[in-house]
Amino acid sequence: MGIVNKCLRALDGRRVHVIERDLTEPDRIVGELLQPGGYLKLVELGLEDCVEEIDAQRVFGYALFKEGKNTKLSYPLEKFHSDASGRSFHNRRFIQRMREKAATLSKYTFLPSYRFTVS
């Protein structure tokens, strides 16, 4: 179950215990492209601040290049509010922001995990 789902359960009033190896920001570089619908879902859930202050770039569509030709594909965003667009960011920063958000919820508890070896 992902961190977003865990946040939602806690926001819904459920008690959530999360077992994580540790809570440090992951040391890896993975890019993430959140489509406009995903961003709008974060807004609907009150989690849009999780893509703030993580150097997220607004994305309005794609540019395709092949054999010297190019074309632009824009997201059809006309019927949405002005902040609607995709977001591109480092996954690790987003995960960390989601953890920080979850930690503010009263029914959310982080538990360190331990590895046991049986011999």
CATH number of the domain that residue 78 is part of: 3.50.50.60
Output 67 or 107, whichever has higher pLDDT: 67
Structural domain of 36: 3-112
Domain count, the chain: 1
pLDDT at 118 over 60: no
Q: Say if residue 13's pLDDT is above 80.
A: no
Quote the crossing angle between the two packed helices 91-103 and 3-11, to the nearest 10°: 20
Q: What is the pLDDT of residues 31-49, one digit of tens each?
A: 999 999 999 989 888 889 9
Give a yes or no: residue 15 inside a domain: yes
In a domain, 119, yes or no: no
Kindly state whether residue 117 falls inside one of the protein's structural domains.
Answer: no
Question: Is 118 inside any structural domain?
Answer: no
Cβ atoms of 51 and 90 within 8 Å: the answer is no
